[in-house]
């Protein structure tokens, strides 16, 4: 979430996360290894940013669930509307 707004130095991420620098760096290394973030050296700082290309497979995988839930909510809405109609008819 912290990297959604753009590139950030590790020192900012450490401060925002409230984790020790070694822990933060370890998490960032894992994210880099799986292709979710990129880093670059700028002077003495290492800057990190999101790599949206790494998110594409996750987005595609979750897309199937989106359709399932949308259809489920549509059926639930139809059921609730039918119940409301029945209740109006009983009054």
Q: Is residue 41 part of a domain?
A: yes
Q: How many domains does the chain have?
A: 2
- Domain enclosing residue 72, as ranges: 55-90
Residue bearing tokens 């960032």: 28
**Same domain? 14 vs 45:** yes
d(CA 41, CA 83): 61
| Inter-helix orientation angle 10-17/21-33, to 10° | 110
Q: Is residue 25 part of a domain?
A: yes
**Same domain? 12 vs 45:** yes
Task: Read off the pLDDT of each residue in 1-20 and give the average, rounded to a whole number.
Answer: 92
Average pLDDT of the residues of the chain? 90
What's the pLDDT at 90? 73
What's the pLDDT at 57? 82
Q: Is residue 67 part of a domain?
A: yes
Task: Read off the pLDDT of each residue in 55-63 and give the average, rounded to a whole number.
Answer: 82
Backbone angles phi, psi at 63, to 5 degrees: -55, -35
- The CATH number linked to 20 is 1.10.10.10
d(CA 73, CA 67): 10
Task: Read off the pLDDT of each residue in 51-58 and give the average, rounded to a whole number.
Answer: 82
């Amino acid at each position: 979430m912290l990297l959604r707004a753009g590139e950030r130095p590790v020192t900012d991420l450490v401060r925002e996360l409230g984790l020790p620098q070694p822990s933060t760096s370890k998490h960032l290394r894992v994210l880099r290894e799986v292709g979710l973030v990129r880093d670059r050296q700028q002077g003495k700082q290492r800057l990190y940013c999101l790599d949206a290309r790494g998110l594409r497979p996750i987005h595609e995988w979750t897309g199937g669930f989106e359709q399932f839930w949308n259809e489920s909510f549509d059926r639930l809405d139809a059921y609730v509307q039918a119940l409301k109609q029945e209740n109006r008819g009983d009054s």
